[in-house]
Amino acid sequence: MNIIETNWKWKTGLSTRPRTDYIVLHHAAAITCTAQQVDNWHKGNGWTGIGYHFFIRKDGSIYRGRPEWATGAHASGKNSISMGVCVEGNYETEKTMPQAQKTALKELLTYLKGKYPTAGIKGHREVGATGCPGKYYPFEEMKAHWNNTTKKESEELTMSQYEELKKEIAELKEKTGYFNYIDKNMNESYKPTIQKLVDQGRLEGNEKGELMLTTDMMRILTILDRAGVFN
């Protein structure tokens, strides 16, 4: 899976979401459109820019919208706890989603399930007064795919996912630092990986021996470890 990065020009600063409870699915309600057009439309609404976190064209191209950590503008009342995924098309009138777009959507959902395994999946109409993502959108198929994505499947990283996780780790390192002991309050599922990385000398404590890792960073390291990156 390849996510196309775009250098969006935000009108104002972006705020940080506290958590991810939902992945909300949308359609653009336009048979043909680009991510750039969506950005222009949303700015025309007075928003800071494209409100979705991902946008998928009919040819299967996946574009990043807002950063994953940022609050979106796609589901009123749920923006602070959700991520928005929009597809090109109007599935209120178009009866079939192109296979390339459907495949890309499933790949993106697998990727997101690996990063946010406790999140649920919702159609926009389930969290707001709207018909989005359209009556012909294959929502039940996507919901089944999300629910059937196993832990093993979600931890098999593509190279692009691995590179993105490495980038996130570097950013988190700058913000949090490392530690050289196992804290008694650490989630049990993270302890084997953290102990392994300490033993390998990959993790080191600061001069005070303070616990500096965030839960997100430990989760990322654990996913990488289970994928065999640290073997």
Is residue 145 domain-shared with residue 176, that is, in the same domain? no
Rounded CA separation 3/18 (Å)? 24
Is residue 168 domain-shared with residue 222, that is, in the same domain? yes
pLDDT of 211 strictly over 60: no
Is residue 143 domain-shared with residue 164, that is, in the same domain? no
Mean pLDDT of 69-74: 94
Last residue of a domain, one of 90, 124, 152: 152
DSSP 64-79: E-S-TTB--SSSTTTG
Quote the pTM value: 0.66
> Which letter, b or e, does each residue of 143-154 get, where b requires 16 or more Cβ atoms within 10 Å of its Cβ?
bebbeebeeeeb
Q: Give 179 or 108, the one with higher predicted confidence.
A: 108
Is residue 96 domain-shared with residue 19, that is, in the same domain? yes
Rounded CA separation 108/99 (Å)? 14
Mean pLDDT of 71-75: 94
Mean pLDDT of 213-221: 78
- Give domain status of residue 33, yes or no: yes
Rounded CA separation 3/108 (Å)? 9
Rounded CA separation 44/47 (Å)? 7
pLDDT of 175 strictly over 70: no
Query: Residue 81's pLDDT is what?
Result: 93
Which of 81, 84, 54, 65 shows the shortest CA–CA distance to 10? Answer: 65
Query: Residue 204's pLDDT is what?
Result: 66
Last residue of a domain, one of 152, 172, 194: 152
Q: Give 189 or 27, the one with higher predicted confidence.
A: 27
Mean pLDDT of 167-188: 56
CA distances from 169 to 29, 54, 217 (A): 37, 21, 7
Rounded CA separation 28/136 (Å)? 13
Is residue 121 domain-shared with residue 146, that is, in the same domain? yes
Is residue 123 domain-shared with residue 190, that is, in the same domain? no
Poorest-pLDDT segment among 39-53, 139-153, 198-212: 198-212
User: What's the domain count of the chain?
Assistant: 2
Backbone angles phi, psi at 78, to 5 degrees: -125, 0
Show the domain range for 172: 159-226
Q: Give 178 or 222, the one with higher predicted confidence.
A: 222
DSSP the chain: --EEP-----SSPPPBPS---EEEEEE-SBSS--HHHHHHHHHHTT-SS---SEEE-TTS-EEE-S-TTB--SSSTTTGGGEEEEEESB-TTT-----HHHHHHHHHHHHHHHHH-TT-EEEEHHHHSSS-TT-TTS-HHHHHHHHHH--HHHHT---HHHHHHHHHHHHHHHHHH---SS--TTS-TTTHHHHHHHHHTTS----TT------HHHHHHHHHHHHTTTT-
Is residue 100 domain-shared with residue 122, that is, in the same domain? yes
Q: Give 28 or 167, the one with higher predicted confidence.
A: 28
Last residue of a domain, one of 109, 134, 152: 152
Query: Residue 222's pLDDT is what?
Result: 84
Is residue 144 domain-shared with residue 204, that is, in the same domain? no
Is residue 45 domain-shared with residue 145, that is, in the same domain? yes
- Give domain status of residue 231, yes or no: no
Query: Residue 208's pLDDT is what?
Result: 58
Query: Residue 215's pLDDT is what?
Result: 73
Q: What is the CATH number of the domain that holds 110?
A: 3.40.80.10
